[in-house]
């Protein structure tokens, strides 16, 4: 009988909730700017009446979606995001509604990298990107020390070498 593979139990940095919230605020703000522009154009050029009603319906749906995106979804995502590594597997579990469990064999990993955009940089966090031949995986927010240590550990387990070696 094969040994049972344990579920992951390590969590992301708590600051990831702030990062995801900021990302959602930026994305929703752009959407509301586009919608505002369409409302202005509707008023300015006197489009058909149904266009105004359609824009109003889109506005209501956008407000509901923005409330979900900014206030609920980041906390829910954080609560349900876990990872773990051992010598055999990278284990990822995420998703509150559609839960995903991923097992990535260390022998299949081809590269591992840390990434940091401006919002992650503000909170001194890094994303860890893991590439295999057919897919890529991401651990979205880890503190600097943990991200670099995890990157090196995965590279060692997967026997990944730096480019140029």
Of 20-24, 42-46, 147-151, which gets the smallest average pLDDT?
42-46
> In what helix (H) or strand (E) does residue 60 lie, and over which residues does it extend?
helix 49-67
Residue 25 has pLDDT above 70, yes or no: yes
For residue 109, give the nearest of 124, 92, 125 by alpha carbon: 92
Residue 1 has pLDDT above 80, yes or no: no
Of 36-40, 71-75, 96-100, which gets the smallest average pLDDT?
96-100
Say how far residue 8 (Cα) sits from the centre of its chain: 18
Average pLDDT of every residue of the chain: 93
Secondary structure of 87-122 in the HEC alphabet?
CCEEEEEECCCCCEEEEEEHHHEEEEEEECCHHHHH
| Domain extent listing, the chain | 16-78, 82-158
Specify the CATH number for 82-158; select among 3.50.50.60, 3.10.129.10, 2.30.29.30, 3.30.565.10: 2.30.29.30
Residue 63 has pLDDT above 90, yes or no: yes
**Are the CB atoms for 19 and 120 separated by under 8 Å?**
yes
- pLDDT at 7 (0 to 100): 82
């Amino acid at each position: 009988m094969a040994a049972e593979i344990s579920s992951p139990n390590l969590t992301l940095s708590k600051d990831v909730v702030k990062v995801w919230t900021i990302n959602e605020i930026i994305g929703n703000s752009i959407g509301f700017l586009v919608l505002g522009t369409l409302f202005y154009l509707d008023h300015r050029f006197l489009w058909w009446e149904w266009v105004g009603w359609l824009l109003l319906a889109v506005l209501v749906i956008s407000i509901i979606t923005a409330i979900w995106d900014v206030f609920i979804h980041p906390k829910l995502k954080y609560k349900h995001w876990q990872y773990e590594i051992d010598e055999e597997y990278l284990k990822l579990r995420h998703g509150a509604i559609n839960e995903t469990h991923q097992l990535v064999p260390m022998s299949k990993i081809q590269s591992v990298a840390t990434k940091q955009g401006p919002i992650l940089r503000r909170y001194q966090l890094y994303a860890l990107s893991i590439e295999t031949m057919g897919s890529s995986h991401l651990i979205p927010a880890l503190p600097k020390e943990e991200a670099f240590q995890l990157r090196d550990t995965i590279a060692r387990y997967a026997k990944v070498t730096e480019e140029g070696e």
